[in-house]
Amino acid sequence: MKQRHHEVDFCVVGGGMAGLIAAIAAARKGAEVALIQDRPVLGGNASSEIRMWISGAHGENNHETGILEEILLENAYRQTYPNYQVWDSVLWEKAHFQENLLLLLNCGVNQVTSSEKKVVSVKGWQTTTETWHTVVADYFADCTGDGTVGAMAGARYRVGREAREEHGESIAPERPDRRTMGLSCLIQARETDRPQEFIPPRWAYRYNSDGELPERNHTLTGTQNFWWLEVGGMDDSIHDAETLRDELLKIGFGVWDHIKNRGDHNA
């Protein structure tokens, strides 16, 4: 397979909002930067693939500022109705046209070389070009969300929740455990101008009565997002991810079948 070699000052692995903004900030300061992202789009959880709008700083006297605000303003200028494909293009444009920034999309880093406890290079497989990319840099930022680069470099890490006394957090569990967020599946309901039939696939779960979905509000009020479909927080949400995704699909299609076809949910 083809091999390509890059030498930069700063290499960011992971093109979610953290990685994208770290890369842009460094490039604007004059550093030669490589940004490696394993998906076809930037944004991570805040991309069209996951669809989590940036809304962490809402409230009086709270606001995202700096490069993130610049991106949010550009997006607001381009579209009045929120559309994730347009958002993806705003993020791509910010990285692609940034001077000093090499953007490698569809490239998953899966090898790390370190020396004296310092990462010296990473290697990633780019699916679209069938090319191995090696990036040597003075500094690396692990913005993978899962801390994958650090783990591959041999850094210590932990998974799950700390015990209450470790940081004096009263709502933390008494003992540490391995629970994490699970995998989520978002259903977005949108009102249409005529009735839409829904035929569930034969492998979808069946929820015949509301009693089978207790504590989960699912009566439609028009435009609505259902965020409560989540499984795997008590499993290994990384290594079991493929199995959990399959399970979520069965649940997701089953829930939508319930809303559309079983009982009166205004659908």
Q: Does 143 bind ligand FAD (CB under 6 A)?
A: yes
Contact 6, 133 (CB under 8 A): yes
Residues 33-72, one symbol each (x = binds ligand FAD by CB under 6 A, - = not), give ---xxxx----xxx-----x--xx----------------
Q: In this complex, which beta carbon is closest to ligand FAD, that of residue 52 or of residue 136?
A: 52
| Member of 98, 121, 126, 148 binding ligand FAD (CB under 6 A) | 148
Q: In this complex, which beta carbon is closest to ligand FAD, that of residue 35 or of residue 259?
A: 35
Residues near ligand FAD (CB under 6 A), total:
25
Q: In this complex, which beta carbon is closest to ligand FAD, that of residue 204 or of residue 248?
A: 248
Q: Which residues contact 229 (CB under 8 A, 6 or more apart)?
A: 184, 185, 186, 187, 248, 251, 252, 255
Q: How far is the CB of 100 from ligand FAD (least distance, A)?
A: 20
Q: To the nearest 5 percent, what fractions of the chain are helix, strand and coil?
A: 30, 25, 45
Contact 75, 90 (CB under 8 A): yes
Q: In this complex, which beta carbon is closest to ligand FAD, that of residue 20 or of residue 204?
A: 20
Radius of gyration over every alpha carbon of the chain, rounded to an integer in angstroms: 22
**Subset of 7-26 contacting ligand FAD (CB under 6 A):** 13-19
Contact 125, 132 (CB under 8 A): yes
Q: Does 153 bind ligand FAD (CB under 6 A)?
A: no
**Subset of 173-212 contacting ligand FAD (CB under 6 A):** 184
Q: Which residues contact 107 (CB under 8 A, 6 or more apart)?
A: 36, 37, 38, 124, 125, 126, 127, 133
Q: How far is the CB of 126 from ligand FAD (least distance, A)?
A: 10
Q: In this complex, which beta carbon is closest to ligand FAD, that of residue 31 or of residue 52?
A: 52
Q: How far is the CB of 106 from ligand FAD (least distance, A)?
A: 9
End-to-end Cα separation, the chain, in angstroms:
51
Q: Does 82 bind ligand FAD (CB under 6 A)?
A: no
**Smallest Cα–Cα separation from 226: which of 199, 263, 259?**
259
Residues 103-122, one symbol each (x = binds ligand FAD by CB under 6 A, - = not), give -----xx-------------
Tell the burial category of 157 from Cβ atoms under 10 Å away from its Cβ (0-12, 13-18, 19+).
Answer: exposed
Q: What dihedral angle (degrees, nearest 10) is formed by the CA atoms of 119, 125, 131, 136?
A: -10
Q: Does 145 bind ligand FAD (CB under 6 A)?
A: yes
Sites of contact with ligand FAD (CB under 6 A): 13-19, 36-39, 44-46, 52, 55-56, 108-109, 124, 143-145, 148, 184
